[in-house]
Structure formats: C-alpha cells, structure tokens
Structure 1
Amino acid sequence: MARAELMKKLFASRGRDEEFRTVAEQIINEEERKNNRVLARSLRRSLDEGPSQPARPKALAPLIPFPEAAADFIERIEPTRNRQDIILSRENVRIFLGLLREFQSGDSIRRRGLPVRSKLLFCGPPGCGKTLCAELFASELGLPLFIVKLDRIISSYLGETATNIRKLFEFARTQPCVLFFDEFDALARARGEDGEHNELRRVVNSLLIFIDRVHPKGFVVAATNLDQALDPAIWRRFDEVVWFDRPDRPMITRFLRMRFKNVLLEFDPHTHLSALDGYAYAELERLCLQAIKTSIIDKRKSVTERDFVAAIADERRRKRRTSRIDTI
C-alpha cells in the first residue's frame, strides 16, 4: 500500500486504538522493508511507550477491513477441532512448535533485521492431515483461517487469474491470518509441460513474484498432493516445507486409541495393525466410524471385532477401486 494511503488510514483511525495500532505497525513494517531501521525502531519505541492498551483476546486476531474484491476468493473457516484430534510425526511436531515460537517472538526477530518464517508448503498424499493441520495451526496461533476458493481464482478469462491472485496476496499482507491454498498445484504447475498455454505460464510467473514479495501479517500456507507437478522455482519461495506421510504403525496405534477412546470395544483393534498398513488418516477415520455406526444400527452398546473387520473390508474394496481410477 502506498505511504500516502497508509497515512490517510492512520489519521482516519484516530480514537480507535486497535485499528490505529494496526495501521501504525504497517507503516513501521514498510520502513523496515526499506531498510530505514533507525526510523522504524524510533517509531516502534514511540508506539510501545504510548498509553497501555487492553490485551487482545488470545483466541483471535482482530480483523481489519480488506478490499471487497478479495472476499470473492476466500472463505473464513471456524476451527472445530483441537490438537488432540491430530497425530503428527515427531519431526512435524518439532517444526510446528518452532514456527509457533518464532511467530510469538516475531517483533523481537524483525527488530534485529531478520525475517520470520511465514510462507509454508504442505506436501503429502490425500487424507494425511494437511488441511486439518492448517486449521489447528491457525487455532493455536490465535489467527483466523481463510480458505482460498480456487474455482473463483482461476478465471475463464485467463488474463484475470493473475489479477485475482494479486488481490489475495494483498489481503495476506494486511490481514493477520492463515491464508490456505489447497490443491496448490492447480496454480503452480510446472511451466515446461507440453501443450501448456502461454497465459498459464504467465500466471505461474506472476505467482512466483507475489510469493517472493509478500510479507504476510500471519501465514500463507499452500498444500499439494502432487508435489512432483509443482514448478521447480516454487520450492525456494517457501520458508518451510512440511511433509505429511502416511502413518506408520505407532502412529496408527495412537490414532486408533484416540478414535475409540470413548467407545466400548469387545476386541483389541491393535491386533489388526498389519491390515491397516498404507492407509491414510482419512481412510482410518472412515473405517472406524463405519464400525461404530454398525453397532449403533444393530442397537448394540459395544463395537465387535466383526464390525471392525467388515469396515476394513469395505475400505479395502474402495481403496482397490479408486487406485485403478488414479492410474487412468
């Protein structure tokens, strides 16, 4: 945003403390990006030494007005689950705890002229927790989550697609939030593919520039099931790449314990671990719920081994059929 526009917003927000502070932070960030660090430090000191402000609610960052054009391309999602609803590898737990701590110390890091990681790429097979993790990550940060509507972004008039993407990144630059691009490969597909339209190449070029230049107030998170289809130049634009693999047996064990913690069982589901190798979390969730529903339909208070084995067989049938479709 032009400096003149920021100054107008600053004066217009007089008397509205939270909005005034948000705009002042934008001005300070602009000066830091221009390497005017002495001025930026002076402005931040003046801002911090001003009258004390009531603490913000921990659960949610304040929303500031954003261009109505961006509203056409995003949908706000309210988190409905908590950290007990996800099983992550130790490596990913370490990565996300590091990102949380870095975000919480962001002001101190930026004062020393260092960047804060804010652009993340999630990679892995379908159903392995990428979208759920984005939801819980936003909740832990106390930031609103916005999902990008790709069907709206990709215009039938190809020249408009890059313009639509620009509006999204302008939104991420001004709004403290987690902006989530699912199926990111639809936008960032490799430019060298045979038969690709020149206009689509220009879209990828624009996307690279936008990702490079944006300094989000929160996080930009992109997720893909097809990381091999991404343009090679995309990877270095992200501060962190997080891999979501299919769960191994210890993680499946933890998932089954979590899923059946409030359910009466007549058997030990862990005796069936070998039959669950290679299943994604979404598939495990589906078969567990099916076993529970079977017991409810039969008006029984507990889930039997027969219910569970039948649910595995149904999931195996579905998995076999869909794997054929994936190879077409």
Structure 2
Amino acid sequence: MARGELMKRLLASYGRDEEFRAVAEQIILEEEQKNNKVLARSLRKTLDNSSHRPATAPKMLAPLIHFPDAADDFVERVEPERNKHDIVLSEANVRVFLGLMREFRRGEDIRRRGLPVRSKLLFCGPPGCGKTLCAEVFAAEMGLPLFVVKIDRLISSYLGETAANVRKIFEFARKQPCALFFDEFDALARSRDDTSEHNELRRVVNSLLIFIDRLRPNGFLIAASNLDQSLDPAIWRRFDEVIWFDKPDRPMIERFVKFKFKNVEASFDPLEHAKALEGYSYAEIERVCISAIKSAIIERRKQVRENDFKRAIADETRRRSGTARLSKIS
C-alpha cells in the first residue's frame, strides 16, 4: 500500500486503538521489507512500550491480543512475503476486492447508517489458482495481520473438543482486528448430508454455522476450499461474498509469465509458449518458469534458452498426467 495512503489511515484511525495499531503494524512491516531494520525496530519498540503504560495514564494503543495457551496450536501468524504485483486476478475479482477495500475503509460511515459491512469471504476454486496468495496479499493491502488456522490440529478425536477449539478462534477474531484465514475449509464445513461423516463432525458444522453468524469481525474472516461441492449448503449464505478463482485464460497466462521473466534474460520470447500453458494453474505455470530459469543457473548461462522452457513444460505435463492417474485410482 502506498505510504501516503497508510499515513492517512493512521491519522484517520486516531482514537480507535485497535485500528490504529493495525495500521502502525503495517507501516513497520513495510520498513522491514525495505530492509530498514533499525527504523523498524525503533518503531516496534515505541509501539510495544505504548501498551505498557500505567493504568492512570490516558488510554493508548491496545497491544495485539495473544492467543491463550490452549489455542496456540491452532493458529499461526503469517507475515506477508508478497504483494499485489505478485498476483494476477480476473477483472471481476479485481472489482470485487477494490469494492471490499473501499467498504472497509468507510466502515464506520456505513455502520452509522445501520448497514452491514462485508467481512466474511469464501474463496472457491481448483488448487493452485491463487486463493491462499490472495488472502495474504489482501491482508497486507488492508494493513491487517494475517492469522492462518491449522485445520489439521483444530479437528480433535475427542468428543466436543473440536467445537470448543473453533470457539476459541472465533473469540479471538471478534476482539482482534485481523484477517483470519481458514484454508481447506471443507474439512471443517463438510455437508451434514454426507453419510461417511460421523455425528461429531455434524455437530461441529452446527456450531460453526452459529459462530459465523454471530461474528462481527474488526477485519475479515476468509475461508478457502478446493471442494466447494462438499460444503454444507447452509454455509454459503453465512458469507457476505463468494469469490471464484479459476485457471487463468490466455491473457492472464501471458501477464503472469511476463511477470516471472521480468528480471530474467532470455534468448527467446516466453510469451510465444503461452498457448501450451492453457489449462494450467498458476502454481503449475510458476513451476514451469522457475524450472526453466534454474536450468540456466545450473549450467552457468546468462540466458534462459527456449529448450529450457520446453523441457520444463514437458516435465510439468508428465507430472500432471501422473496426478490424473492418482485421482482416478483414489
């Protein structure tokens, strides 16, 4: 996010402690990313010290709320490593995300008129098409810390414990301005009509529906699923926005490949091979580009050759065919 915009948000949030701290955290993060370590440490020390004032002092910034020890295993904070330039979205999705950003920034004005602010997002689409990356970039653009839920640890074999674990996470999201990200959401919100699921998981879905309904986050709840057809039908209406991530079309492939080769010297035009990448996910295309670039590095060449790229595509095609066979077996 542009520094000017961050400073405006910082000043506009004065007096609203949690929002002020979230913006300040984003400014510190940007300084760290620019390798301004000394300034970043100084700013963080000042910010942390402001939360330890005596009770008689004027109310200052609220510190980031720590998860209770019992919930530490279920969530981790993720520092964004990429920005909006690392992702290629469809025009429709760009429009949706810009609308969400504007709405969030004018949230108080909207609420004063008795209207809700969209804050619960469901990302759907095949693997490797940018759902997780988009959550990371979106949180960074909004100046919000990103917390990722560890679904595998959240689900317990003990009766009633999973719902209790989920409750702790939603309690935290209610208090702390953040982007709370549930990846592989279908593992938790699977359809209650699925006869293969046991009664305990059905009870978890019932609890999850109630928690989502009651949540009024100071940031965003984001859930992502590769298996949207497996989600419980009642889940869909609990989300303010459903965003679909599809495999890239030809223009999006060209934009993505161009970005991956922007600082790489090549003896050919990689965009001439965009047609061969149609039907591939972003993750697969990225793997092709990286493989081709590494071939030149390994052979100590300054340029990536066309044969490097062709071999990388052939390797990815082989990999995909193996994946297809495995899916048929399973």
TM-score (norm 2): 0.82
Q: How do residues 64-103 of structure 1 correspond to structure 2 at under 5 angstroms?
A: 64-103=65-104
* Unaligned segments of structure 2, at least 5 residues: 1-12, 28-61
The aligned counterpart of 1:293 is 294
Rounded Cα–Cα distance in structure 1 between residues aligned with 2:151 and 2:253: 32
Q: Does the CA contact (< 8 Å) of 1:295 and 1:302 recur in 2?
A: yes
Tell me how far 1:54 sits from its aligned partner: 10
Distance of 2:181 and 2:166 partners within structure 1: 13
Equivalent position of 2:257 in the other structure: 256
Q: Which has the larger radius of gyration?
A: 1
Q: Residue 118 of structure 1 aligns with which residue?
A: 119
Counterpart of 1:316, as a letter, is T
2:161 partner amino acid: E
Counterpart code for 1:256: V
* Number of the residue aligned with 1:239: 240
* Percent of residue pairs identical: 68
**Paired AA for residue 26 in structure 2:** A
Deviations 1:120-147 (A, max 9, x none): 0000000000000000000000000000
Structure 1 residues 135 and 296 mapped into 2: Cα distance closer, same or farther (>3 Å)? Answer: same
CA RMSD after TM alignment: 2.1
Q: Which residue of 2 aligns with 1:59?
A: 26
Does residue 176 of structure 2 align to residue 144 of structure 1? Answer: no
Contact in 1 for aligned 2:122/2:242 (Cα 8 Å): yes
Q: How far apart in 2 are the matches of 1:322 and 1:201?
A: 31
Relative to structure 1, the CA distance from residue 55 to residue 183 in structure 2 (aligned partners, 3 Å threshold; closer, same or farther) is closer
TM-score normalised per structure 1: 0.82
- Aligned position for 2:55: none
Task: Tell me if structure 1 keeps the 8 A contact 2:180–2:220.
Answer: yes
Q: Equivalent residues in 2 for 1:268-307 (5 A)?
A: 268-307=269-308
Write the deviation string for residues 154-196 of structure 1: whole angstroms up to 9, x where unpaired: 0121310001001111111001000000000000001111232
**Residues 114/316 of structure 1: CA separation in 2 closer, same or farther (3 Å cut):** same
How far apart are 1:114 and its partner, in Å?
1.0
CA contact (8 A) 1:158 1:200 kept: no
Question: Judging changes above 3 Å, is the alpha-carbon distance between structure 1 residues 107 and 58 closer, same or farther for their aligned structure 2 residues?
Answer: farther
1:230 has 2:197 as partner: no
Where 1:158 maps in the other structure, the secondary structure is coil
Runs of 4 or more, structure 1, over 6 Å off, are: none
Q: Is the 8 A contact 2:23 2:143 kept in 1?
A: no
Contact map agreement 1:66 1:175 (CA 8 A) in 2: no
Alpha-carbon distance, 1:22 to partner? 4.3
Equivalent residues in 2 for 1:138-177 (5 A)? Answer: 138-177=139-178
On the 8 A contact 2:144/2:178 being kept in 1, the answer is yes
Distance 1:188-1:270 versus aligned 2 partners, 3 A rule: same
- Aligned pair in 2 of structure 1 residues 78, 55: CA closer, same or farther (>3 Å)? closer
1:58-88 alpha-carbon deviations (Å, 9 max, x no partner)? 7169513443333221000000111110000
AA aligned to 1:124 is G
**Aligned-partner Cα distance in 2 for 1:67–1:109:** 33
| Residue 42 (structure 1) aligns with | none
Alpha-carbon distance in 2 for matches of 1:293, 1:155: 42
Alpha-carbon distance change, 56 to 307 in structure 1, aligned in 2, over 3 angstroms = closer
Alignment of 1:306-317 (within 5 A): 306-317=307-318
Measure how far apart 1:324 and its partner are.
1.4
Report how many aligned residue pairs link the two structures: 283
Matches of 1:284 and 1:121 in 2, distance apart? Answer: 24
Deviations along 1:85-142, one digit per CA (max 9) or x if unpaired, are 0000000000000001111111111111111111000000000000000000000000
How far is the alpha carbon of 1:217 from its aligned partner?
A: 1.1
1:320 aligns with: 321
CA–CA separation in structure 1 for the residues paired with 2:209 and 2:22: 37
Residues in 2 aligned to 1:189 and 1:138: alpha-carbon distance in whole angstroms? 26
**Quick one: which amino acid aligns to residue 176 of structure 1?**
P
Over 3 Å counting, the alpha-carbon distance change for 1:54 and 1:244 in structure 2 is closer
Deviations 1:210-236 (A, max 9, x none): 111111111010000000000011000
Query: 1:57 aligns to what SS in structure 2?
Result: helix
**Distance between the aligned counterparts of 2:23 and 2:89, measured in 1?**
30
